[in-house]
Amino acid sequence: MSPSATPAKITAEAIRAMKARGEKIAALTAYDFPMARLLDEAGIPLLLVGDSVGMVVLGYPDTTHVTLAEMEHHVRAAARAKPRALLAADLPYRSYETVESAVASARRLVAAGAEAVKAEGGRAILDQVRAIVSAGIPFIGHLGMLPQHVLEEGGYHIKGKQDEERESLLADAEALASAGAFAIVLELVTSAAAVEVTRRIRIPTIGIGAGPDCDGQILVSHDLLGLWPWYNLKHVKPKLNAAEQMRAAARQWKLELSK
């Protein structure tokens, strides 16, 4: 490639092909223009406008409060960065309960600038997944701990500890792959279960709190950068203490005003 050549846009198929090459997939969340641009400039190939925006940006207690309109707003902001990365977006809580609503919601996110959508669940949402894929919209699955179900499950729990759970995860992953998903996020899944799923299916697994052996990893950028200092997560080791740096900069500026 010549120095002036523009790198090729990353597609869903390009992300899927990374598994066959043994290339680890790095994915991070981006909810606005500057974060999307910065992470894209860092070479992150997959950016997710996650419904985690509800907690880390909007101050909600969990993701069940996030609306489709709020997701559209943040997708538009991130899309304005025109990233080379594939820009995916979460279908929020109760926006894909039927086939019709799933396709309509996915199309709204695509119209806002998303290039793929993600939804939580396996065999329970297969009809919705098939319809989204049939509409020409790339789809990412999400198995294990499902944050949109946190209230009914009474918190965040690691999945795959029991044989029955592992078998269910495998069945869901195989069903999603057969339905046309190009990747699957595994959240809070035991390392053993994540390894088994990763070996069994042909599409990439992208872990979060699921051990080191998935085909890739995804993190909430605020956790990675130390921008969410009020909670300590076992699966994240922040690479910065950006929150304290921001506090220090603000304090210094305030002091300088009175000199």
pLDDT in tens, 147-203: 999 888 887 889 999 999 999 999 999 999 999 999 999 999 999 999 999 999 999
Active site residues: 187
Q: How far is CA 164 from CA 147, 208, 227, 241, in A?
A: 21, 21, 37, 40
Q: Which CATH superfamily is domain 12-224 in?
A: Phosphoenolpyruvate-binding domains (3.20.20.60)
Average pLDDT over residues 211-236: 90
Distances (CA, A) of 197 to 46, 126, 172: 21, 18, 10
Residue 233 has pLDDT above 80, yes or no: no
Domain ranges of the chain: 12-224
Query: What CA–CA distances, in Å, run from 26 to 50, 53, 228?
Result: 15, 19, 20
Considering only the C-alpha atoms of the chain, give the largest distance between any 2 of them, rounded to a whole number of Å.
Answer: 66
What does pTM read for this prediction?
0.94
Residue 139 contacts residue 181 (beta carbons within 8 Å): yes
| Predicted local confidence at residue 3, as pLDDT | 55
Contact (CB, 8 A) for 151 and 62: yes
- pLDDT value at 2 more than 70: no
What is the tens place of the pLDDT at every residue in 45-97? 999 999 999 999 999 999 999 999 999 999 999 999 999 999 999 999 999 99
Q: Do 146 and 186 contact (CB within 8 A), yes or no? A: no
Which of the pair, 98 or 233, is modelled with greater confidence?
98
150 close to 62: Cβ distance less than 8 angstroms:
yes
> Angle at Cα 218 formed by Cα 214 and Cα 224, nearest 5°?
130
Q: What is the pLDDT of residue 76?
A: 98
